[in-house]
Amino acid sequence: MKNMIYIRRRWTNIFMLALSYMTVLTGLFWLAWILWTLISRGYDSLSLSLFTQVTPAPGEAGGLLNAILGSLLMSLVATLIGTPIGILAGTYLSEYSKGSKLGACIRFMNDVLLSSPSIVIGLFIYIVYVTTVGHYSGWAGAFALAIIVIPVVVRTTDNMLALIPNHLREAAYALGCPKWRLIVRICYRSVKAGILTGVLLAIARIMGETAPLLFTALSNQFMSLDMNAPMASLPVVIYSYAASPFDDWNKLAWAGAVLIALFVLLLNIIARVFFKGK
């Protein structure tokens, strides 16, 4: 009887391991296929002019300089806005609202915001900001991206701070350390790698967002770093050029897709490898 139980458990274990390996290989297969398609179609368009020239008119040579700089600028502003808010909100949830109904409500709303379609956030900023000032702008795009950053950083900060053993807090309290100093000098230092990982993952997410920028920053075919004016971005340029009937624009769209894919992949590798266990 015991031998039959052992055999059944052994075959169950083998079956579940095989199923797990199959699901992993399936996911890796689609990832490899996507990367191969992007690189094979966009490799020929990767050149120095891609980083030195602005988006061209149909039939002319050009690059994606204005779109690259626009994406980087709006993502930088969004990160600078969303990261402090997300860290402070996550700190409140983990350190000050334990067991409270307000904390549970904030966590629920943060989860809703985390899973909300980005186009809804773009429409929200369009109604609240764009219609108020009367024009599209880089600020509007940065505000929309910042709202996407905030819930990611909130969730990461909350989860990381929850991993800190309570005896560290108790030891600091026993030495007369105030709570704010405990959080800054002990808690943040203990989980800084985890919080930074969350910030990098948030940046990777907003770098590929298209829908919110269509309603906020729109686009700009010319070089412009004025945040109070319409601004080009890589996702919007890819969206526009991929649907165009011009072959040269289609090639630039594939090149832009390769740049975003490689940048997001690089950020994920940095977050997963270089900050693992720190």
Instruction: Tell me the per-residue pLDDT of 170-223, one tens digit each, with 9 for 90 and over.
Output: 888 888 889 999 999 999 999 998 899 899 989 999 998 999 999 999 999 889
Binned at pLDDT 50, 70 and 90, residue 143 comes out as very high
3-state secondary structure of 216: coil
Average pLDDT over residues 50-57: 91
pLDDT of residue 257: 93
Binned at pLDDT 50, 70 and 90, residue 68 comes out as very high
Instruction: Tell me the per-residue pLDDT of 91-116, one tens digit each, with 9 for 90 and over.
Output: 999 999 887 899 999 999 999 999 88
pLDDT of residue 268: 82
pLDDT of residue 276: 65
Average pLDDT over residues 23-44: 91
Q: Which residues of 40-63 are buried (b: 16+ CB within 10 A; e: fewer)?
A: ebbeebeeeebeebbbbeeeeebb
Average pLDDT over residues 268-277: 74
C-alpha distances out from residue 179 to 94, 111, 170, 194, 213, Å: 13, 27, 10, 21, 40
Q: What angle do CA 233, 134, 151 make, to 5 degrees?
A: 55
Q: What angle do CA 146, 152, 154 make, to 5 degrees?
A: 95
Six-digit token string for 103 = 């904390």
Whether the pLDDT of residue 278 is over 60: the answer is no
- Give the C-alpha separation, 8 to 91, whole Å: 48
Encoded amino acid at 14, one letter: I
CATH fit for domain 48-274, picks 1.10.3720.10, 3.40.50.1000, 1.20.1260.10, 3.40.50.460: 1.10.3720.10
pLDDT of residue 1: 60
Six-digit token string for 223 = 């070089």
